[in-house]
Amino acid sequence: MIRLENVKRTYTRHGQTVTALQCENLCISAGEYVAVIGPSGSGKSTLLSLLGGMLSPSSGRIWLDDMSVYEQPLTARATMRRERMGFVFQTFNLIPYLTALENVQVPLGLNGVSLPDQTAMATAMLQRFGLADRLKHKPSEMSVGQQQRVALARTLVNDPQIILADEPTGNLDPTSREVVLKAFDMCHEEGRTIITVTHDVTAAARAKRRLVLNEGQISEESSCWAKVA
């Protein structure tokens, strides 16, 4: 379970303090599929960064099960991300000089998996996403849909309990978007927690719970999104 307790994140710009995110209490249970909706600059990326242990709150606490995330040292938070979390990015963030297979191997390598096991696990994951014939292709040699599938394979290869996605369908055509959303459905069925930040109505509608983020304030779904669902 993820819990935000009186979390506030502020930035100081040109002498002015801006509140990027404020949340009195938010609980996301294990296995929940949550979409966070909001306009640009509403604090969506800040929320994902806070949840991912990458941006410490100005005040308040974030709990992952019984662990207060920001009371852990940097290395422990890196281990937490490596072992329990997976990230999906809008622009895929594949490493350009690595092949599809190697990109998927990276998190395994960080987790200390041996090279033969890395190859076997990464190949199986890419096959699952229909990329068996693209193992040796570099990102620049693949379509955006294929790149996002490689990114999904990289996210899931370490078997994370929590998936944090930042506009995962933002750059995709309808077919590729469907592939990603189906993958999220499948992850949800497998009991993983999914928190996706999106502008995409269809993507948000697939989530079982929707949060609205506006000017840094989080609230539960609004009626219009409920209708779409």
Partner 1 sequence: MNLRSLVWKELRERPWSVVSSSMAILLGVAALVAIRHVTVHSEQEVSRQLSSLGANILILPKDASLQNYYAADRNGQTLPEEHVTEVLMAGLAGVEKVTPKLSMPASLGGLEVTLTGILPQSEFTAQQAWQTAALFTPKKHDGCKKASHEPSEADKTPESLNTTRAIENLEKNQIVLGADVAERSAFSDGDTVELLGGTFIVLGTLTRTGTVDDSRVFAHLHTVQELAKSGEVVSAIEVIGCCEDAAGDLVPELSKLLPNARVVTVSQVVQTQVGVNRLMSGTSLFVLGTLVLVGGASLASAIAANVRERRREIGTLMAIGATPGFVQRLFLMKALVLGLVAGSIGCVIGLLTAVMIGPQWAGVVVLPLPGLAVMAVGAATLLAVMAAYWPARQAAKLDPCLCFQEV
> Please, what is the angle between helix 144-156 and helix 115-128, to 10°?
130
Q: Is 115 in the site for partner 1 (CB under 8 A)?
A: yes
Q: How far is the CB of 224 from partner 1 (least distance, A)?
A: 26
Using CB under 8 A as the binding rule, the residues of this chain from 168 to 227 that contact partner 1 are none
Q: Please give the backbone phi and psi of residue 203, each rounded to the nearest 5 degrees, phi first.
A: -65, -45
Using CB under 8 A as the binding rule, the residues of this chain from 1 to 40 that contact partner 1 are none
Tell me which long-range contacts 198-201 makes (C-beta under 8 A, separation of at least 24): 198/35, 198/36, 198/37, 198/165, 198/167, 198/168, 198/169, 198/170, 199/37, 199/167, 199/170, 200/167, 200/169, 200/170, 201/225, 201/228
Q: How far is the CB of 166 from partner 1 (least distance, A)?
A: 5
Locate the DSSP E strands across the chain.
Answer: 2-13, 16-28, 33-37, 59-64, 67-68, 85-88, 162-166, 193-198, 209-214, 217-220
Could you give the 3-state DSSP secondary structure of residue 211?
Answer: strand
* Choices 74-82, 174-182, 209-217, 218-226; region in contact with partner 1 by CB under 8 A: 74-82
Is 51 in contact with 3 (CB distance < 8 Å)?
no
Rg of the chain over all Cα atoms, to the nearest angstrom? 18
Considering beta carbons, is residue 39 or 224 the nearer one to partner 1? 39
> Please, what is the angle between helix 144-156 and helix 174-189, to 10°?
10
Considering beta carbons, is residue 98 or 205 the nearer one to partner 1? 98
Q: How far is the CB of 121 from partner 1 (least distance, A)?
A: 11
Find the binder of partner 1 among 5, 10, 31, 45 (CB under 8 A).
45
* Choices 32-40, 96-104, 175-183, 213-221; region in contact with partner 1 by CB under 8 A: 96-104
What tokens does 13 get? 């710009």
Q: Is 54 in the site for partner 1 (CB under 8 A)?
A: yes
Considering beta carbons, is residue 87 or 129 the nearer one to partner 1? 87
Considering beta carbons, is residue 199 or 229 the nearer one to partner 1? 199
Find the binder of partner 1 among 6, 91, 127, 202 (CB under 8 A).
91
Q: Is 78 in the site for partner 1 (CB under 8 A)?
A: yes
Considering beta carbons, is residue 23 or 151 the nearer one to partner 1? 151
Please name every residue paired with 227 in a beta bridge, in sequence order, or none if there are none: none
Query: How many angstroms separate the first and last alpha carbons of the chain?
Result: 24
- Write out the residues near partner 1 by the rule CB under 8 A: 45, 48-49, 52, 54-55, 74-75, 78-79, 81-83, 86-87, 89, 91, 93, 95-98, 102, 105-111, 115, 118, 154, 158, 166
